[in-house]
A and B are shown apart, each in its own frame.
Chain A
Amino acid sequence: MRTLFALGLIVFSGSATAGDLSGADLFEKKIRPVLVQICYPCHSGKTPAAGLHLDSPQATHGVVESGALLSAIHREGKIKMPPAGPLPDDQIADFEAWIKLGAPDARTETSAAPPYDFDQARKFWSFQPIRDPAPPRISDPAWNKTAIDRFVKAKLDEKHLVPLGAASKRALIRRATFDLTGLPPTPEEVAAFLADPSASAFDKVIDRLLASQQYGERWGRHWLDLVRYADTSGCNADFPVPDAYRYRNWVIRAFNDDKPYDQFLREQLAGDLLPAKDDEDRHAKTIATGYLAISRRFGSGASEFNLTIDDTIDNVGKAMLGLSVSCARCHDHKFDPIPSHDYYAWYGIFASTKYAFPGTELYPHAADFVSLGSPHQAERLKAYQDESSALDHRIAAFNDGREGKDLSKEDRDKEIRRMKERLIVLEHDAPASPKAYAVSDGASANAKIQIKGDPSHPGDEAPRGFLTVLGGQVLPGNEKGSGRRELAEWIISSPLAARVMVNRIWQGHFGKGIVGTPNDFGARGDRPVDPELLDWLASRFRESGYSIKAMHRLIMETRAYQMASGADQADLRIDPKNDFSWRFDRRRLDAEEIRDAMLDVAGDLDFSMGGPHPFPPETSFHYTQHVQFFAVYDTRRRSVYLMQQRLKRHPFLDTFDGADPNATTPARAPQETSLQALTMLNGAFVDEQADLLAVRVGMAQSTDVARIGYAYRLVFGRAPSADELRQCEQYLLKAGAAFKKSGLPADRQPRAVLASLMHVLLASDEFIFVD
């Protein structure tokens, strides 16, 4: 308060004063908040400052009685509290009044005891074992065909919601094609589906889509969102990681191969520790651990690695278990039963893991990448990385005076010069063997709890193990490895792994999950709209051997999925957000879909799988925080293959609410912004695709009417109505007249006129939204 008065800002009167309140009220309203906010950070937990537990009523009573509390806040004696500066006068007055009233303290003594009752905590819905509930009985035969529909309809009936009718076949194939591949159906695919009257017509469509490479590119991208995939490290200079793409492609292939989800998780956490059939298999499993290696990097040196481990823990917790485990880094989790101890039980596992080091400003040479070559190549790679990175560290030590102090300045400079020359020789002969941005086991050890998340304040040791509430397994004492392999099994066997994933698959189809907070199945997350449906799905998922493709089929063959996307006044009133699926929610295409769909309809899309990015050679990486790495590489391939930086997003993806490459993105949050409209109107990319579409349409057809018809089929998957045809024809005439006055050479006008119409079609809602 002093500060602000002195700054002469404003006076803001507070609420009730101490005099108005009873002792108990005074404690709750005035004293307890100050204790919690000001005192607890130091004076609570296992190792409180000065051994004083102000979270214990007994201990608090002690310092009240002895007068030490008042003396400290009055700053009379040696001990002045709080250390950051005196409490405001009114708070001091509150304490005085409270002590006068006999210092009534409503807290119970247990507050200083172990923070959670785990037996009680395990009763929380998401920690319960997965059940296999029987689908309810439904009278409506149209909703009786699949188990999922019976679950959905039962809820609808319960809420007096009347579901909409079925979507048109045309809407359905467009919906399914975007859902599974992120691309629009071709006119031929639409025509074939419409012409197929068989009962299995839609099943055939699903099978075709699931078998396409584009499926993995779409669903792999969902996973890459979750694991905050990026092609650069995120350090202060944002070093490129040319080998990161291997993990990206591994994810895409895993989806296309329908790799069982348990194995998918296992390989990402511990692929390097699993048995392998042959070299190829071993390499793929090593690449899978790129999941851990792509954790965010910090700083200009290598000293802030605790933050990288925190990023790993945050991601493993949220992506694989739907739990914010990383909240327990500085203190026991406030809402979920995750003590700091459990956080550091994981921390030890990742601290016992050697992450490939992509280089930073101070240490520009990469280290600990895992060879994907022959034994000889592996040896050379290791020798090169070890020596160059050791030289980086020694040069830095010479520069900041940690080493070479006893040498004369001349000798020191000479030694630095020698080391730099050696680096040049090494770089000149740098091995070009293939390598993975991956992890391997390092020296294994348990971690100590870091008080308030500060690595320089170690507390008790936390044996490596799993979350107490989910079983609390620990590594056997004689375990030599990091414990990643065990962690993978603990995660897979927990009820959360399957529940969280089926919820994501559901969300991928319906736009929102059965649990609306896909990364938070804890106390602060949403409760499932239908817990039985969620568990039924999780049971089927396990039963299928964790087949994700099986789940797609199960979901897409339902009436719920095949419903229309309209509106209903009565339903809107009861369930305006459509939590209970009385309709199918219309959605805007996401950033990648917009770009890919434009490339696709313009005939400009390169369908091949992306490889490495055209980064400059690694030996030239000398980026700093002053001169960061920054590049945008153009490609006609799908957007999942665009180079994505941690620190600077790709401009197109950024504009259209793409994923955050810094932190897990559990769901895209499309917003309609005027900057998007500007990109649609004036952006070079949209302009180019409109032009290419005009060329495609113009070359294929010879009359305006035929061209308009073809464009409609390509862009919207349907023929234009007579009205629309007339409107577009008139537009071409009017635009033709306007272009005549535009100064554009006459021979370029017809193409420009047609491109102008194509531009409008590509910018239109019908193209950008999926019914």
Chain B
Amino acid sequence: MTCDCSRRQMVRSLFTGSMLFPAVLQQMFAETGDSLAPRAPQFPAKAKRVIFMYMPGGVSHVDSFDYKPKLIAAAEAGQTAKNGRLYVRPHWDFKPRGKSGIMVSELFPHVGDSIDGICLIRSMHGDHNDHFQATLGIHTGSVTVARPSLGSWVSYGLGTENQNLPSFVVLAPKLPYAGAQAWSSNFLPGCHSGTRVTAGPDPIPDLTRRAPTQEIEDLELGLLARLNRKHQTSRPEDPALAARIKTFETAYGMQMQMPEVLDLSKETDATLQLYGLERGSTKGFAWQCIVARRLAERGVRFIELIDQGSSDNWDAHTDIRSHEPLARNIDQPIAALLKDLKSRGLLEDTLVVWTTEFGRTPTADSPNGRSHHNVAYSSWMAGGGVKPGIAWGETDDFGAKIAENGVHVHDFHATILKLLGFDHTRLTFRYAGRDSGSRMWREMWWKGFWFRKW
């Protein structure tokens, strides 16, 4: 598959008949394709869009979704693990939740309520035990050099349904580890990079009208269009010129539509209450979740939510109880998002993903804290064709190692792509003289071959 963004608006112009081009050029555009136009996947998909929730710092699996009674017993008995470190008792009690009876701790009471709609994965594992690299890993599949982010691959593969909004939106109040590399398109065309949207007066850089009045902006755009068209008339058949003219229309559309997406005034009290968002507030994960739903409704392809930045996050080295306020911030909004999507009929084809860069050790880092643990942790998916109310994979008695059905980060990515209708080994981009899939797909080829042929 090749891709050339500079031609995409051109193709649309062709289709709308606003310009006349020789057939040969039309042919050329048709071949190269419109990279942001909505496109069918490789085979029938279960999900059409993704809401990807990433929690920076490393959420403890043994305190949340991976119930380990032997760990509790060992910790109470003051036992140490082979590494000489004391076991730490999970700080929150676990209960079977929902009809499925899956054990969820009281750290996530609302998500626990929704467990019957969730496909829990208790056997995630990744390649690196450091935040920066593991953050790149969970986003791009590579823990060394940067590669395109998952959202960029999805945007590249499926295009977007709403040209007035970016195809890949990131709602991140603070920058995570590795910063914008986490949502960079890398070697894919730049239009597939995540666009970071924040609360406040300028949700996207330079989105806010600079001209003092709308009348003045309209005058400027009018003159610009006249100058550009005249320039173009004497330079026919140049797709870049036509494309650039179109970008000003799209920018104008974005300038109009983005504030509307972020304007929650028409949301009902009931909806706001469901998420736990105070009217007028733009704070916390509740705001992010409700905006995510609105973006999903408007055809954005990949929406990533990041709750915290690269500090003051889930990285509980000194005290695992620091998870409590962080969980409170996300728990109710996540459950609300699942309910809200479901009641609007969106959950069926929206894949909701919850993950983190690694879990935390069953043993102590400091008396009450846990260290990084990439060899086993938990994540989950919901909606979008996944089987609800099941728990996949198991760790050993202490949550230390995978006992059964490990899901490597690459498997996780391949599964997401599969749900969207892509064989990850065939979603490639010609780069540096070869068809480059991301490293995640390439290693999948070795490590998880059975994923390839189902």
For A, the interface residue count at a CB cutoff of 8 angstroms equals 106
Residue of B nearest to A37 (CB): B445
Task: Find A670's partner among B6, B119, B232, B235 (CB 8 Å cutoff).
Answer: B6
Given the complex, which residues of A lie within 8 Å of B177, measured CB to CB?
236, 625-626
Asked if B392 is at the interface of the complex by the 8 Å CB criterion, the answer is yes
> What sequence of 0s and 1s flags, for each residue 263-304 of chain A, a beta carbon within 8 Å of any chain B beta carbon?
000000000000000000000000000000000101110001
Residue of A nearest to B10 (CB): A672
Asked if B254 is at the interface of the complex by the 8 Å CB criterion, the answer is yes
> What sequence of 0s and 1s flags, for each residue 36-70 of chain B, a beta carbon within 8 Å of any chain A beta carbon?
00000001101000000000000000000000000
A628 contacts B310, C-beta separation under 8 Å? yes
> What sequence of 0s and 1s flags, for each residue 319-339 of chain B, a beta carbon within 8 Å of any chain A beta carbon?
000000000000000000000
Given the complex, which residues of B lie within 8 Å of A573, measured CB to CB?
22, 24
Given the complex, which residues of B lie within 8 Å of A41, measured CB to CB?
446
B215 contacts A648, C-beta separation under 8 Å? no
> What sequence of 0s and 1s flags, for each residue 333-357 of chain A, a beta carbon within 8 Å of any chain B beta carbon?
0010000000000000000000000
B247 contacts A674, C-beta separation under 8 Å? yes
A679 contacts B220, C-beta separation under 8 Å? no
Task: Find A520's partner among B166, B220, B433 (CB 8 Å cutoff).
Answer: B433
Asked if A760 is at the interface of the complex by the 8 Å CB criterion, the answer is yes
Given the complex, which residues of A lie within 8 Å of B43, measured CB to CB?
12
Q: Given contacts A7-B415, A627-B311, A672-B5, are A765 and B245 in contact (CB under 8 A)? A: yes
> What sequence of 0s and 1s flags, for each residue 81-94 of chain A, a beta carbon within 8 Å of any chain B beta carbon?
01011111011000
Task: Find B235's partner among A7, A9, A566 (CB 8 Å cutoff).
Answer: A566
Asked if A746 is at the interface of the complex by the 8 Å CB criterion, the answer is no
A676 contacts B411, C-beta separation under 8 Å? no
Asked if A125 is at the interface of the complex by the 8 Å CB criterion, the answer is no
Asked if A704 is at the interface of the complex by the 8 Å CB criterion, the answer is no
Task: Find B119's partner among A8, A647, A662 (CB 8 Å cutoff).
Answer: A8
Task: Find A1's partner among B178, B207, B240, B450 (CB 8 Å cutoff).
Answer: B450
| Prevailing SS type, chain A contact patch | loop
A572 contacts B179, C-beta separation under 8 Å? no
> What sequence of 0s and 1s flags, for each residue 295-338 of chain A, a beta carbon within 8 Å of any chain B beta carbon?
01011100010010001000000000000100000000001000
Asked if A673 is at the interface of the complex by the 8 Å CB criterion, the answer is yes
Q: Given contacts A3-B450, A9-B386, are A677 and B247 in contact (CB under 8 A)? A: yes
Asked if B173 is at the interface of the complex by the 8 Å CB criterion, the answer is no
- For the complex formed, measure the closest distance between the CB of B36 and the CB atoms of chain A, giving whole angstroms: 9
Q: Given contacts A34-B449, A299-B133, are A679 and B180 in contact (CB under 8 A)? A: no
B24 contacts A674, C-beta separation under 8 Å? no
Q: Given contacts A324-B432, A682-B206, are A567 and B46 in contact (CB under 8 A)? A: no
Q: Given contacts A520-B433, A756-B211, are A567 and B453 in contact (CB under 8 A)? A: no
Q: Given contacts A520-B433, A670-B6, are A1 and B145 in contact (CB under 8 A)? A: no
A88 contacts B453, C-beta separation under 8 Å? yes
> What sequence of 0s and 1s flags, for each residue 719-759 of chain A, a beta carbon within 8 Å of any chain B beta carbon?
00000100100010011001101111000000010001101
Asked if B451 is at the interface of the complex by the 8 Å CB criterion, the answer is yes
> What sequence of 0s and 1s flags, for each residue 390-413 of chain B, a beta carbon within 8 Å of any chain A beta carbon?
101000000000000101000100
Q: Given contacts A3-B451, A682-B209, are A673 and B5 in contact (CB under 8 A)? A: yes
How many A-B pairs with Cβ below 8 Å? 275
Given the complex, which residues of B lie within 8 Å of A731, measured CB to CB?
219, 223
Given the complex, which residues of A lie within 8 Å of B170, measured CB to CB?
none
A662 contacts B450, C-beta separation under 8 Å? no
Asked if B238 is at the interface of the complex by the 8 Å CB criterion, the answer is yes
Given the complex, which residues of A lie within 8 Å of B373, measured CB to CB?
none
Segment with Cβ contacts to A, from B107-115, B188-196, B278-286, B340-348: B188-196
The residue among B209, B450, B453 with the most chain A CB atoms within 10 A of its own CB is B450
Cα A11 to Cα B43 in complex, Å, equals: 11
Given the complex, which residues of A lie within 8 Å of B146, measured CB to CB?
662
Residue of B nearest to A669 (CB): B189
Residue of A nearest to B44 (CB): A10
Q: Given contacts A525-B433, A674-B247, A678-B254, are A8 and B450 in contact (CB under 8 A)? A: no
Residue of B nearest to A752 (CB): B212
> What sequence of 0s and 1s flags, for each residue 590-614 of chain A, a beta carbon within 8 Å of any chain B beta carbon?
0000000000000000000000000
> What sequence of 0s and 1s flags, for each residue 649-678 of chain A, a beta carbon within 8 Å of any chain B beta carbon?
101000101001011000001111111111
Cα A760 to Cα B228 in complex, Å, equals: 10
Asked if B226 is at the interface of the complex by the 8 Å CB criterion, the answer is yes
Given the complex, which residues of A lie within 8 Å of B204, measured CB to CB?
675, 678
Q: Given contacts A566-B235, A682-B208, A764-B227, are A742 and B216 in contact (CB under 8 A)? A: yes
B419 contacts A9, C-beta separation under 8 Å? yes
A4 contacts B418, C-beta separation under 8 Å? yes
B311 contacts A738, C-beta separation under 8 Å? no
- For the complex formed, measure the closest distance between the CB of B351 and the CB atoms of chain A, giving whole angstroms: 11
Asked if A771 is at the interface of the complex by the 8 Å CB criterion, the answer is yes
- For the complex formed, measure the closest distance between the CB of A227 and the CB atoms of chain B, giving whole angstroms: 16
Q: Given contacts A8-B390, A572-B25, are A625 and B445 in contact (CB under 8 A)? A: no
Task: Find B181's partner among A3, A91, A525, A647 (CB 8 Å cutoff).
Answer: A647
Asked if B28 is at the interface of the complex by the 8 Å CB criterion, the answer is yes
- For the complex formed, measure the closest distance between the CB of A473 and the CB atoms of chain B, giving whole angstroms: 26
Task: Find A38's partner among B209, B310, B418, B449 (CB 8 Å cutoff).
Answer: B449
Given the complex, which residues of A lie within 8 Å of B179, measured CB to CB?
628, 630, 647-648
Given the complex, which residues of B lie within 8 Å of A647, measured CB to CB?
178-179, 181
Given the complex, which residues of B lie within 8 Å of A628, measured CB to CB?
175, 179, 310
- For the complex formed, measure the closest distance between the CB of B42 and the CB atoms of chain A, giving whole angstroms: 10
A84 contacts B247, C-beta separation under 8 Å? no
A572 contacts B450, C-beta separation under 8 Å? no
A678 contacts B227, C-beta separation under 8 Å? no
A677 contacts B250, C-beta separation under 8 Å? yes
Residue of A nearest to B228 (CB): A765
Give residues 218-248 of B contacting A (CB, 8 Å).
219-221, 223-224, 226-228, 231-232, 235-238, 240-241, 243-248
Cα A682 to Cα B231 in complex, Å, equals: 23
- For the complex formed, measure the closest distance between the CB of B222 and the CB atoms of chain A, giving whole angstroms: 9
Given the complex, which residues of B lie within 8 Å of A669, measured CB to CB?
189-190
Given the complex, which residues of A lie within 8 Å of B407, measured CB to CB?
3
Given the complex, which residues of A lie within 8 Å of B190, measured CB to CB?
657, 669, 671, 673
The residue among B4, B24, B208 with the most chain A CB atoms within 10 A of its own CB is B24
A7 contacts B210, C-beta separation under 8 Å? no
Given the complex, which residues of B lie within 8 Å of A670, measured CB to CB?
6, 240
Cα A311 to Cα B145 in complex, Å, equals: 9
Asked if A552 is at the interface of the complex by the 8 Å CB criterion, the answer is no
Asked if A382 is at the interface of the complex by the 8 Å CB criterion, the answer is no
Cα A742 to Cα B181 in complex, Å, equals: 41
Cα A647 to Cα B178 in complex, Å, equals: 7
Cα A7 to Cα B244 in complex, Å, equals: 45
A760 contacts B220, C-beta separation under 8 Å? yes
Task: Find A7's partner among B22, B211, B392, B433 (CB 8 Å cutoff).
Answer: B392
Asked if A21 is at the interface of the complex by the 8 Å CB criterion, the answer is no
Cα A400 to Cα B178 in complex, Å, equals: 24
B415 contacts A9, C-beta separation under 8 Å? yes
B180 contacts A625, C-beta separation under 8 Å? no
- For the complex formed, measure the closest distance between the CB of A740 and the CB atoms of chain B, giving whole angstroms: 10
Given the complex, which residues of B lie within 8 Å of A771, measured CB to CB?
235
B22 contacts A672, C-beta separation under 8 Å? no
Asked if B144 is at the interface of the complex by the 8 Å CB criterion, the answer is yes
B145 contacts A735, C-beta separation under 8 Å? no
Asked if A681 is at the interface of the complex by the 8 Å CB criterion, the answer is yes
A-B pairs, 5 with minimum CB distance: A8-B387, A677-B251, A520-B433, A674-B250, A524-B433
16 extra interchain contacts, Cβ-Cβ under 8 A, other than A10-B46, A681-B210, A682-B255?
A: A1-B453, A7-B392, A9-B415, A10-B418, A566-B236, A627-B311, A662-B146, A670-B6, A673-B5, A674-B247, A674-B254, A678-B206, A679-B206, A682-B209, A687-B210, A743-B212
27 contacts between A and B (CB under 8 A): A6-B405, A7-B119, A7-B386, A8-B386, A9-B419, A10-B454, A12-B43, A34-B449, A90-B453, A236-B178, A300-B130, A300-B132, A307-B145, A586-B240, A671-B6, A671-B189, A673-B191, A674-B251, A678-B251, A678-B255, A738-B215, A739-B212, A752-B212, A756-B216, A766-B231, A768-B244, A771-B235
